[in-house]
Amino acid sequence: MSFPLDISLSSRHFTCIPAFLGFPFRKSNSSFHFTVSVAKQMITQQEPDLNLNHLKLYYGLLLPVFSVPLFSVSKYHNLYCFELGLTSLQRFLFSFPQESCFLLPIYADGCLMATKYARLCYPCSFLKSVSFYAKHPGCDQSYMGRREFSFTLVDDIYLRFQSFNNAHELENSVKEKSPVKIDIGPVYSVDPAKRHAYAQSENNVFAPVERELIFDIDMTDYDDVRYCCSGADVCLVCWPLMTIAIKVIDTALRDDFGFKHVLWVYSGRRGVHCWVCDGKARRLSNEQRGAIADYFRVYKGNENSHKKVSLTGAALHPFLATSYTNVLKDYFEKNLLTGQNLLATEERYEKILSMIPDESIASELRGRWDDSRRSSSAKEDINVVRWEQLKQLLQSGKHKAQGLRRCVEEIVFSFTYPRLDMEVSKHMNHLLKAPFCVHPKTGRVCVPIDPNRCDEFDPTTVPTLSQLIEELNYEGSRSDVDGELNRTSLGHAITLFRSSFLQPLLKVCKEEIENSYNVKLQQSKNSLGW
């Protein structure tokens, strides 16, 4: 019981300390005391091999450890605890047998969190409804067992082709392996875990049979049209690009293709994912998926071609036309033009001028803008003024050349139209991160986005895991499992997911199963009759 140490911790990372020392601390403000000897005693009792050096090492590691955000949940020696660091030593130090520590509420919460994590990560994939209706005689019992899951563990270890027969198995596996990321793959013809056994036979029957239609839109693909950030960063200035993408694609999926169960999810860092879960969508072939992806594809540029969007023909396809008038135009003029300062500097407006095929118009505009830079009136936003000039010049009656007619639209499309990651949508066996995962780098939860209110979505306020833990800690009382998370800042997301996506889907699935079962019953009855 000697020299007390003073350790300051930022409040968001405090949670592991009490577990390690066995002190029944709950939320502590900024600092607390502990004694090394107590810790040492505890450790040597439980782990005779462990000597003081480890402890010192641990002590040395203490601060760096806690500067790492909490992101995954692990189970070790019957104790669930939050895993912080990346090295095995750290993992070891946080994994004492249950008896050595007082199990704090936070750990019970952590345990719940793991359960939640497991429980929440798969419903979109139809699994829940299957486990839900598994007792129904018309249901395909093997369906869930044929679904591929893929775990990414710490240190980038990938575990592909995991499969689970029910939610319970999945939950256990998640707790045991504590993946930092869970991906969902297709439903295969046979259990993917046993694929090698089937590969031995002459005709390989192992092939994907069902998969949600998925879309992945990534902000990095927009790097040539946003000036606020680049690469993996996003901010509120460029986020509207994602809002546009959600609006355009969502409308087309529902109105054109007639899909009903569309789920939009924030990918945790810089983009959005879309899951289309209608029965019809799940059974599309690769070719049909490719066709839908191509239907959405307008942006055809790569690094080496000049013109990124080219719209030909006397009219726009109705889908493009409605997207343009309902979404793209407004967002471009009201939001991106000024937000991104698309025409403010010479370098930026040159980029737009280079998209005008008629050199004389381009040079005329260039001349005007060069002048206006010197005599800046600054009354109205310079971007808006210039855009109006450009529009007026291009759309005025005297320029009727074929290429010019579409030029304004082409510019707007280049700067706003959604850019899909085509390969993700084209193939059934592409993996996609499960909703409600926690992004390993940012710690943000992949929450669903309401497409009807996607304007209000703000990626910077999405709850992080550490924030959730804190909130759970505050809560204290845990009367029921469901109520628990609902009271956190994730509550809204969960409600949204349940009410606007999961319940309608479950209802339809139930009807589907019952209908097919009734048909089958009817058939078997008929065949029995003489």
Partner 1 sequence: MEIVRPQSRRNFLSSSSDAVSVPTIPLYRSAPSFEVRLEEFESFAIDRLRVLKGISDGMSRGKKPEEMENLVKDLWKVNMRHQDASEVLNKDIISHFALRLVYCRTEDLRKWFLSMESSLFRYRFRLLNAEAQRAVMEEFDLPYRAVSSVEFESIKEKLGQVARSTGQPSPTADAIFYKVPFEEVPELVAGRKVLISQGYAYVAMNQIVSLVATLFRSQLSKTLILTNRKWTSSVREQEKHRLTPIVEAMCASYLGPDYSQSRECADISLKDIDQVAKSSFPLCMRHLFEKLKEDHHLKHGGRMQLGLFLKGVGLNLDDALAFWRAEFSKRVGLEKFEKQYAYGIRHNFGKEGKRTDYSPYSCTKIISSTPGTGDHHGCPYRHFSEENLRAALSRMGVNSRAMEDVIDKARNRHYQLACTLTFEALHGMPCDAGINHPNQYFSDSRKILQSKATGYAICLVVRFVIILQPRVFWLLQKIAAAALLRLLVGAYTRGLRDNVVKSLCIFQSSSMEGVGILLVYHLGSLFERAARLDILCSIIFICVAKPLNRLYVNLGRCKMKSFKYKNVTLG
Would you please indicate which residues are annotated as catalytic (active-site) residues?
Answer: 148, 216, 218
Q: Which of residues 338-397 bind partner 1 (CB under 8 A)?
A: none
- 155 — alpha (psi -120 to 50), left (phi > 0) or beta? left
Q: Which residue has the tokens 């997911």?
A: 497
Q: Is 209 helix (H, G, I), strand (E, B) or coil?
A: strand
Q: Which of residues 186-215 bind partner 1 (CB under 8 A)?
A: 202-203
Pairing of strands 262-266, 271-276: antiparallel
Q: Is 296 helix (H, G, I), strand (E, B) or coil?
A: coil
Smaller CB distance to partner 1: residue 256 or 333? 256
Least distance from partner 1 to the Cβ atom of residue 256, Å? 4
Smaller CB distance to partner 1: residue 81 or 424? 424
Torsion angle of alpha carbons 450, 451, 454, 457, nearest 10°? Answer: 30
**Residue 207: how many CA atoms within 13 Å on its side-chain side?**
8
Other beta carbons less than 10 A from residue 101's beta carbon: 21
Angle in degrees, 0-180, between the axes of helices 382-395 and 407-416, rounded to the nearest 10 = 140
Site string for partner 1, 220-249 (x = CB under 8 A): xxxxx-------------------------
Q: Judged by CB under 8 A, does residue 103 bind partner 1? A: no
Least distance from partner 1 to the Cβ atom of residue 60, Å? 23
Go through the chain and tell me how many residues it has.
530
In angstroms, the CA 242 to CA 462 distance is 15
Q: Which of residues 152-181 bind partner 1 (CB under 8 A)?
A: 156, 160
Least distance from partner 1 to the Cβ atom of residue 191, Å? 17
Q: Judged by CB under 8 A, does residue 315 bind partner 1? A: yes
Q: Judged by CB under 8 A, does residue 320 bind partner 1? A: yes
Q: What is the CA radius of gyration of the chain?
A: 28
User: What is the per-residue DSSP string for 42-63?
Assistant: HHHHH-TT--HHHHHHHHHHHH
Residue 258 and residue 105 in contact, taking contact as beta carbons nearer than 8 Å: no
Amino acid letter for position 217? I
| Of 310-318, 483-491, 497-505, 520-528: span binding partner 1 (CB under 8 A) | 310-318
Smaller CB distance to partner 1: residue 98 or 429? 429
Least distance from partner 1 to the Cβ atom of residue 138, Å? 24
Smaller CB distance to partner 1: residue 8 or 402? 402
Smaller CB distance to partner 1: residue 280 or 334? 280
Smaller CB distance to partner 1: residue 303 or 380? 303
Q: Which of residues 247-306 bind partner 1 (CB under 8 A)?
A: 255-259, 280, 284-285, 287-288, 290-292, 294-295, 297, 299-306
Chain residues that interact with partner 1, rule: CB under 8 A? 156, 160, 202-203, 220-224, 255-259, 280, 284-285, 287-288, 290-292, 294-295, 297, 299-307, 313-321, 419, 421-422
